[in-house]
Amino acid sequence: MSVAVLAFPGSCDDRDALRAVALMGAEPVRVWHADSDLGGAGAVIVPGGFSYGDYLRPGALAALSPAMAAVRELAAAGGPVLGICNGFQVLTEAGLLPGVLRPNAHLQFRFQDVALRVQRESAWLPGVVAGDTLEIPVKHHDGCYFAAPAQLEELDAAGQVLLRYVHNPNGSVENIACVTNAAGNVAGLMPHPEHAVDPLLGSVDGRILLQGLLDQAVAVEAAI
């Protein structure tokens, strides 16, 4: 299985994501923002960084790139897409995920390990159940997730909230750390699973989300 990792001007975690994909036994494919296709990849990671220097607002310009048109096509066909940090911002700006990411409530950049509580069983979280906790690092300034009250009710009712912060590092509404689209094949989170794949880094919990990405890609391919 090959996984496309997008790279925008200003991306800084694309190489980490490429390495993490390789560690998981899949084939990483680097896709430049100006590319119009995903190189045959069956899954996508939109990585962290500062796409286009976060000009206007984080993710706004990246959402308009040619590569994102290809991401939309893959998502519409049921292919799995994972947005991490700036990638989460890009997916919300592109309309592929609900809500928005605002500056952290304390207006400070935060770089720390965070505990995340699993809200429900999901294809994105193989082997874990509701109530389990994962430890994955965050590093962001604009990671405060927000959605209107009515939309939050819809997300909760539809089971689109996968992870919540045990101790909220950024002021995200209802401690939300990870959400999906209505179909469930697009997910976004501010914590960095690609930085939690090696025991030397203190946690391998990021492998769970990456395995979920690969499992879904294999399932979609098998169904074709």
Could you tell me if 163 and 116 are in contact, meaning their C-beta atoms sit under 8 angstroms apart? yes
Q: Count CB neighbours of 188 within 10 A.
A: 28
How far apart CA 136 and CA 197 sit, in angstroms, is 9
- Catalytic: which of 93, 140, 194, 195? 194
3-state secondary structure (DSSP) of residue 88: helix
Active site residue 178: no
Please, are residues 185 and 216 in contact by the beta-carbon 8 Å criterion? yes
Residues 6+ apart with CB under 8 A from 8: 33, 49, 51, 52, 62, 65
Whether 85 is catalytic: yes
Q: Which residues of 138-151 are buried (b: 16+ CB within 10 A; e: fewer)?
A: bbbbbbbbbbeeee
Residue 192 catalytic? yes
Distance CA 50, CA 168 (A): 22
33, 140, 192, 195: which is the annotated catalytic residue?
192
Distance CA 108, CA 94 (A): 25
33, 85, 93, 140: the active-site residue: 85
3-class secondary-structure state, position 3: strand
- Known catalytic residues? 85, 192, 194
